[in-house]
Every structure is written in structure tokens, then in C-alpha cells.
Amino acid sequence: MAIGPRAVIPRVRWLSLVVAAVVVTGCSRAPLVLTPTIAKTAVARDDVLNAKANNSLDVGLQDQHETGAAAAIDDALFRRLRAQGKTSLGSPPSRSGDLGVFAPRQGNYPAAFLARREVTLSNNSAQSEFMVFVANGEGKPWREAAYTYLELNEPQPSLAVDRQGFARRINEGGRGFGVTPADLPTQYASFLSHYNEPPPQSVFAPGARTTEQLTATRAHVASQEANITTTISFRPAGYPVYCFATTSGGAFCLFSFLSTESYVTRPGTSFTTPLFGPGNEVILDQRETGGHASSTLELLRTRGALIPLRSTRAPVQVVGNYVGVVNASVSS
């Protein structure tokens, strides 16, 4: 059947309506809930609240600007210091250098961004501080969910940003990487659990937070064998893993894990000085004279990981450290 002009017109009109609908829909993009400017304002607010909380050891005030692993570590520290009769944390780290914020282009909540700056710690060592901030809804405050410190001689991440200055967040189930981000805490905890065995083949590169960590833990346990039975175990902490794209196509992630350290002294053992653990935490601060003491500590640690693309076959580099005792029991 021949098709006349009248049969063509409705089709053209229908296509025009579709194109118009697409154009109108494209113009109604949801506004961004996060920009680099918003991120910098959030960090400035965090600095003010952090200073006030540190000066008063106020857990409630601290929870206004911290959540997740960051709050778990720091709240436990505040409670322990208050139990010791202290009223202030003391001098905070001094900040230096420019603040870098890596804010992904996000139009809805929950939202997160990464911040970086150099700090000088109380021991006068200069380190890079990486902080993840999250907000769970409109009108909800931006709070630190995790942070860690990288020594300047450790590999530093090169974060990717686009021409408008926006970073790119990678979800926990992201594929194509040497390790799926969600699996990072489990694989790392399993790796550290082999401290009494030859270093296992793994996806992790040799370094201070991997093979050297195994050696240090093994030496710490062996040095106390004469008087103390020591056991250390590792497991995931259950907190989110926060990842951001790097310029190499990989990801820089902050993740947390737990270690449980148990120390049981043999009868007749005496202590004249405190016993320190592998993280310089005090295990037994009481002086035992011929008694029998035991101590169990649960430590929460946050570290960073540079995860390459799987196609490169490069290992994962673990960097940074922030640690705190979140549970402790001592008996004698």
C-alpha cells in the first residue's frame, strides 16, 4: 500500500514529542548535595567542635562531629581518660599545609567525601591525615566517619578529580580491582592472623603494615613467652569501606578492623614497669608482685589501602594507622 504524506506526519509529531520530553527531563537534574565548597565548610566546622570536645572530654559533643569507627575509637579514649580523673585531651595535632577535599558529584544521600592535610603530631612527626566525612540526609550534619595517619615515607594516594574539581567515589562492591573493597577488611584480617606462620602468599605488597607487621607481632609475642601467655586475633570491624578513585584508575580506601589481645601472666611473675603492647598501649598498668594477672584488650584500627586495577596484577599497598582501645578488662 502506498504511504501518503498524511501517514508520515503523525510519526514525525510523535518523535518530536519524545525529543522534547528528553530535553525537558535532562534540564531538571537534581541539585548537588555536595560541592568542594560545602566540603571545606564541613571540615572547618569539624575543627571547631573537635577542639571543644578535646578540651572537655565531652563524648556527647564529640558525637556531634564524629560517627562510625572514628567515634568508637575516640569515645572510648574520652571515657578512659575521664575515669583516670583527666579533664582534657591535651595538645591536639597542629595542622599545616593546604586542605585538600575530594568531593564526589552526588545528588542524594547518604553522601561522603574525603579530606587530606598534613599534620604534626605530639612526637613532632609530620604525617598526612586522611578523613572521610558522611551525611545521612538533608539537614543532617557532616561527621567524620573514619580517619587515619600516613607517614610521609609511605606511598601517598593521588586522588582523581574532573575538570570541575569533583572526585569519584567507588562503591564497596566495585569490580575490576585487585581486591573488592567490601572484602578488604576480611582479607587483611586473615593475612595478619598468620603472624605465627611463614608469610602467606597474598594480594598485599610487602611493607610496614603487612609483612613487617607480621614480624613485629611475632616478635612481641615471643619476647614475653617466659612469663606471659599471649594470643592475638584479628577480624573485620563491620564498618563501611570508603573508596575514592585515583589517577591510576585504582582506588584509595579507608577501612577498619579489630584485634583482640589476651595476656595471661604465669604465677610468680612480678612487674616493676607497665607492660606495653605492640601498639604502645598499656596492657598491665598495675604492679604485680608474685600475683597472677590477665588482661584482654580489643583494639579498633583504621588504615588505608591503595587498590590497583586487577588488570595490572599489582599488589595492594596498605598504609596509615589510627588505633584505639575500645574494650578492656584487667584482673589480678
Average pLDDT over the chain reads: 85
Residues 307, 192, single domain; the answer is yes
C-alpha 44/C-alpha 48 separation (Å) is 7
Q: For position 271, what pLDDT does the model report?
A: 57
Residues 99, 212, single domain; the answer is no
Coil, helix or strand at residue 8: helix
Residues 71, 217, single domain; the answer is no
Model confidence pLDDT, tens digit, residues 226-266: 778 888 999 999 999 999 999 999 999 999 999 998 888 87
**What is the DSSP secondary-structure string of 92-109?**
PPEEEEEEEEE-B--SSS
Which among 212, 229, 228, 219 has a CA at the least distance from the CA of 196?
Answer: 219
Q: Is residue 201 part of a domain?
A: yes
Q: How many domains does the chain have?
A: 2
Burial class (CB in 10 A: 0-12, 13-18, 19+), 316: buried
Beta carbons of 109 and 137 less than 8 angstroms apart: yes
Residue 322 cell numbers, joined = 589510627
Residues 137, 209, single domain; the answer is no
What is the dihedral angle through the alpha carbons of 53, 55, 56, 59, rounded to the nearest 10 degrees?
30
For the entire predicted model, the pTM comes to 0.85
Q: For position 87, what pLDDT does the model report?
A: 93
Check which CATH number belongs to the domain holding 115 and give it.
3.10.450
pLDDT at 51 over 70: yes
Domain that holds residue 55: 31-153
Residues 79, 180, single domain; the answer is no
Residues 105, 52, single domain; the answer is yes
Q: For position 27, what pLDDT does the model report?
A: 44
